[in-house]
Amino acid sequence: MNFIDLKQTSLEEVLSQFELTTEDYEGLVREAAYFDKYFLVGEGANIGKLTVFTQHLHDPWIDIELDNCDILNYRGKIPVEYFLDVMDEIFERTQLARASEHDLETFQKRGFRTIPNKEGRGVAILRPVGRHVKKGDVEKPEDKRLRVMMPEDLPEIKRLFEREYPFRYRAVELMYVPGSCFLFEEEDEIRGVIFNEKRENYLYCKELFVKDSERGREIARLLLSQAFWYAAEQGFAEVRGNARDRAFPLYRRLGAKFGEEIEYYLKREKRGG
């Protein structure tokens, strides 16, 4: 099985050796500048990627540098052990990762442990979520503080993410799709955002974010409702995404349904730490 470091080679030359769809090829090239480490694993049409974003968390309670790792197994045929081999090789600092229920034990054997959720009542998990929509059946939220996200908003959103959601701040431009993303703005300050992308037959919610200081004000509900209305108006039958455990009650209130799959947030402490 081949492991190719896409940060240390010519992307176009290397990717031409693999059987990639145009969408996959363009996505790999587009993301290259975002990640600090970027590996392609596999051969031919049987490929996956391991991406790593190094972030420095610093506040009065914590000062740590860690690698946030993400695995994408394009066709589900590469054993997770191959990705973990690469993660072992680059293991210099604390690592964060996500694992399916099926792969959880394999990750745990390599030293990863589940992460408690913010409420302290269980472990942090992620589940696929979706809601069916139909034009005329979804009410538009009438709130003047909601509006379409514009290119000139991206610098402010990027600064907001850098302060409160450091894993995502460099991805703001990657996530932005003109006309499909919305924000909640009050007193000339952006308080929450939702990034959406049109897929073949559904609208995909890539990121829903609300400032910590604004939680409990129904901003997330308004942003999701706007996305549901927008999807229906565009002729889509469904909105899909992934939700963290603390957002489950909100999605249920809005009539969304959850998939059976569960992903666990995991952490492996730096050696000697």
Instruction: Answer yes or no: is 248 within a domain.
Output: no
- Is 16 contained in some domain? yes
Task: State residue 127's pLDDT score.
Answer: 95
Least confident of 51-60, 124-133, 147-156, 170-179: 51-60
pLDDT of residue 74: 77
Cα 39 → chain centroid: 18
Residue 262 lies in a domain: no
What does the pLDDT read at residue 57?
61
Is residue 173 within 8 A of residue 191, CB to CB? The reply is no
Q: Distance (Å, rounded) from C-alpha 161 to C-alpha 175? A: 13
Give φ, ψ of 242 to 5 degrees: -130, 140
**pLDDT-based confidence at 11, cuts 50/70/90?**
confident
The token duo for 213 is 């200081």
Read off the pLDDT of residues 76-110 as tens digits, 9 standing for 90 and up.
688 899 999 999 998 988 999 999 999 999 999 99
Domain hosting residue 86, numbered range: 2-124
- Are the beta carbons of 180 and 198 closer than 8 angstroms? yes
For residue 86, what is the domain's CATH number? 3.40.630.30
> What span, in angstroms and rounded, lies between the C-alpha atoms of 15 and 95?
27
State percent of the chain over pLDDT 70.
93
Please state, in angstroms and rounded to a whole number, the distance separating the CA atoms of residues 65 and 59. 12
Say if CB 266 and CB 114 are below 8 A apart: yes
pLDDT at 61: 47
CB 47 within 8 A of CB 78: yes
143 and 102 in a common domain? no
Q: Tell me whether residue 257 is in a domain.
A: no
Give CA–CA dist 4/182, Å, rounded.
37
The answer to which of 36-45, 141-150, 250-259 has the lowest mean pLDDT is 36-45
- Residues 189, 194, 198, 199, Cα dihedral to 10°: 160
Total domains present in the chain:
2
For residue 187, pLDDT over 60 is answered with: yes
